[in-house]
Each structure stands twice: as structure tokens, then as C-alpha cells.
Chains A and B, each alone.
Chain A
């Protein structure tokens, strides 16, 4: 088998092409939204929101509603509840997250355990199976991705200012509170989009790892997002081919590729910094 066949052969399968397109879109959206999350220290929030989407998925499955719909309601609802609890000032963010996310995941497991028969789809959502994505799913995924990316494009400046200096932004008239809620809602939607590609457990890696890698090399916010988005869109290609050749779980393979890239960049930049340690200037 030569290289050309190795690359082209899988593309003959429609399911592989669909999976490729889906995971590239997911990677792109995750990395874009993840850039804001990394800068705001919201990695834990990503993990929490993905877990809290679970009961929504189970309920949607039981009542035979679209799974994306159930997941969206549960995740966005939890995101807004966390935001509200935190803004009351009585609980620290991580405490509010810890309480809500464990409760929501437990609710999902509880509901799941009451379903009498084995349900394969739910395992798909827990661990991701992008190879099983249908054309209809791909369409709704693309539509949701477009909504998230358009929102980021519209509020790019405002989200950046509110992330960098919330106090200065609020004082100069930006609606920082509403922007916080918007970002939480975007994170929740992004997670919903990603559920089928990587699953509840691993989606946090898709959100955080590309942005964390980009943060090691990028010197401006624009470049951070572009670098993260490029990593997020390209790693799934490598990951999916690997998973095809190795017959490994697709979501996990993509995450491992992103993680390996992070480690390589970390090692290279660490080495570079040791060679020429730039001293910050004094006046």
C-alpha cells in the first residue's frame, strides 16, 4: 500500500468524509471559544458544562426529542445558573461549578439507569463516535457552529476587552455582565456541538488544548485565536486517519494528537526560552 492509497482510500467511504468534516468544524469552533476560556481561567467550567449536558441528552432520548436540543437546554441552563450563582457573590465560581456539575451528571446517570434496555447512542455521547455521524446531524452541527462563530465575530472586541480588563470595560460602558453570560452560552453551545465528535468526557480537551498550545507561541490575541483555530481544525485530520489505520476510538485519538502537539510545542518553546531568556526591561 503506497502513501497515496493510504491517504485516499478512507476518503472513498462517505462516513469517513462526514466524520472528517464534522470533526474539523468541531475542532475549529472549540479552539476559537476555548481561546477566551484559557485567558479567563474557565477550563474547569468547560468540563463541568459538558458533564451537565448529560441529563439533557438522556431526557431527550427518553422522550424521543432531538438529542442536540436536550443537550443545549441542559448545558446552557447550567451555564447561566453558574453565572448567576457566581454573580450573587456568595459562592466562589469553582464552588458553584463543583456543586452544579456533579449534581447534573448524577442526574444524567440516574435517569440513564432507569432506562430498561441497553442504549448504544448514549454511550456514543459519553465517549464520542464521530464515525457514526449522519448527514442530518452534520447539517445541524454546521448550523450551530455557524451561530457560535458569528457571535464571536460580532462581539470579538467586546469579549476581548471584557476578558482582559473587566473593570475598565465596565467603566467605559461595555455590558460586561451580559458579555459574561454570552460567553457562557457560547461555551455551552460549543460543547453541545462537540458531543458527538468527542463525547462528554473528552470535550474539555478539544476546548482547552489547542488554545493552550497557541498561548505558548502567540504574542497577540488575534494570533492566539487563529493559531488555536488552525490547530483545532487540523489535528482531527491526523487523528481520524490514525484512528482509521489503528482501528482506535476516534475522539480519543484526536484528543491524543492535540495533546501530543501541546507537549512538543511546550518542549520546543521551553528549550527556546532557556537558550535566550528575554529579560523584561526596566525604565
Chain B
């Protein structure tokens, strides 16, 4: 992964950083991207390359633009300026090879669909109108549910599941789509540790198979533990590199700015309770018992 040097910004690391195989083709490439909502700029001057097979965490404060970056790559948000190329074409062109898993808080969990239905939705875009799922689709869904360990819950309504099971049902949808690029918004938020491990082992496995995984997380510990590279955003890309990058105090300071309180001896407190511009509270983080259940 490389970040283009921008001399205008002194704090930007001038050298290309990581660790991912330089031979791997670039899957995601953002060039000079500015984007926002209405007339408010959300992400500024983003340059980013992600190679095939990368397992990337997008970290940063609430309102820092993590989800915005994900939506840009998904092609559901158009950049104001600059270009976003995904899988060798403008974002959105190869949408059927992209699987997006939204934040749990954005999903209506009272919706009457079963785990099987949710996973089958991954097949819908490739089926097209009027065509109904056939044997290959059912096999793909069954295999995906097997891999995420939800085969025995296929008939359960999503509302009856725990937070971790819900997340795995959506992962099954992504896998059933046989996508080459996974975009996951907070996949391990509000999920217990064993489930986190299971989900991320699965994603690491997918990355090893040549799929590319980009996931947002506000949890820095989870980012260093489960991911191989990191992109830190706070209104712009403030750092990118190997996953242990965020243990660096300077990098942390860039990500969290005034919200970081350094106590010395490697102890820092991130005061991320001031939501920048998120009146809807969309990025509130629930835990297992309270998570999004009606």
C-alpha cells in the first residue's frame, strides 16, 4: 500500500509504506479525491492504493470519514473531484464483484427475512430481473452459511439472532456473492471476542485466497490484532501502513488530534465522545446486549 507524497502537508509520511506484496495488482486506487455531503467537505485530497489480497482496516475518529471512504470505493458515493478506480474501472462499474456489509445500526432487524434469505440476496445482482435462484445459487448460499458457521440457523429470522450471528449472516451474503472485494462497515463492533476472532479469521482466509478486504473499525486494538494494514482517516488520509502503525504516538496524535490525551509512558486516552457532526448518532456503538434490537 502506498500513499502518494504530498509535500504541502508536512505530517504526511513521504515514503511509500507497506508491506503488501509489491507484485500484486492494484485493486483500489483513489487519486486526488475530494468528497462530501451537500456542501460540506467530508474527505479531502485522498490518494490511496490498495493491492489485491490486502486486509485493510480503516480507522479514525467518529465523523472522520471512515464510512465515506468505504462508500466511495463501493461507488455509491461519487467524488466531487478526483478519480476512484476499483477492479480496474471507475468505482461502481464492476459492482457485482463487490460485496458491501453495512453497519449493524443501519439495518432494520425487525425485517421479516431469514438468514437464508439474507445470504441469497448476495446472488440477486448476478441473477437479474425475472430469474429466480437455481441450484448453483442454493449451493453457493449453503456453502457460504457453512463457512460462517450459520448453516444450522438458516431458517431463523434475523431478528432472533445475536449481534455476532447477524454479522455472520451478512458475511455469508458477501461470500455467496462470490465477490472479489469485501467492504465491511464496522464488522467487529459490538461483537464478542470469540466471534471477532472467527469473523476475522474468515476474512484473513479470504485475503489469502486473493480477495481484498477493506473494513472500517473504531477499535484500534481490533485493527492491530486482526488486520495487516491500516489506513487512518480524519478528514483526509493521515497515515497508512502496516497494522502496528497505530501504536505509534505521533500517528495516534494525527488521527485523533485534540481528542488524544497522552499521559506519558505509552498510555494514551482517546476521548472520542465528541461526535464531530453526527447528530443522528449513526456511529454510536452498541454492545452485544443492546445492539440494535428493537
Write out, one digit per residue, whether chain A residues 29-50 have a CB within 8 A of any chain B CB (1) or not (0): 0000000000100000000000
Chain A residues closer than 8 Å to B96, beta-carbon distance: 172-173
| Given A89-B38, A157-B124, A282-B289: A171 touches B95 (CB 8 Å cut-off) | yes
Q: Mark B171-198, 1 if CB is under 8 A from A, else 0.
A: 0010001010001000000001011000
Residues on the A chain within 8 Å of B160, using CB: 278, 280-281
Q: Cβ of B100 and Cβ of A168 under 8 Å apart?
A: yes
Which residue on chain B has the smallest CB distance to residue A89?
Answer: B38
Looking at the assembled complex, report how far the CB atom of B28 sits from the nearest CB atom of chain A, in whole angstroms. 13
Known: A219-B157, A281-B161. A170 touches B112 (CB 8 A): no
Contact A171:B124 (CB < 8 A) given known A219-B112, A223-B112, A283-B194: no
CB distance from A46 to the nearest CB of B (A): 19
Q: Does B107 contact A (CB under 8 A)?
A: yes
Number of residues on chain A facing chain B (CB within 8 A): 32
> Smallest CB–CB gap between A30 and chain B, Å?
19
Residues of chain B within 8 A of A168, CB atoms compared: 99-102, 121, 170, 173
With A167-B106, A283-B162 as known contacts, state yes or no: A174 contacts B114, CB within 8 Å.
Answer: no
**Set of chain B residues within 8 Å of A221, measured between Cβ atoms:** 111-113, 117
> A218 interface residue, CB < 8 Å from B?
yes
Chain B residue at minimum C-beta to C-beta distance from A157: B124
A170 and B164 within 8 A (CB): no
Q: How many residues of B contact A (CB 8 A)?
A: 50
A155, B129: Cα distance in complex, Å: 6
Complexed CA–CA distance, A89 and B38 (Å):
7
- Residue of A whose beta carbon sits closest to that of B103: A167
Complex interface: chain B residues within 8 A of A282 (CB): 162, 288-289
User: Does A164 touch B at the CB level, under 8 Å?
Assistant: yes
What are 13 pairs between A and B in contact, CB < 8 Å?
Answer: A153-B130, A154-B129, A157-B129, A164-B121, A165-B107, A167-B74, A168-B170, A170-B74, A171-B183, A219-B114, A280-B162, A280-B293, A283-B192
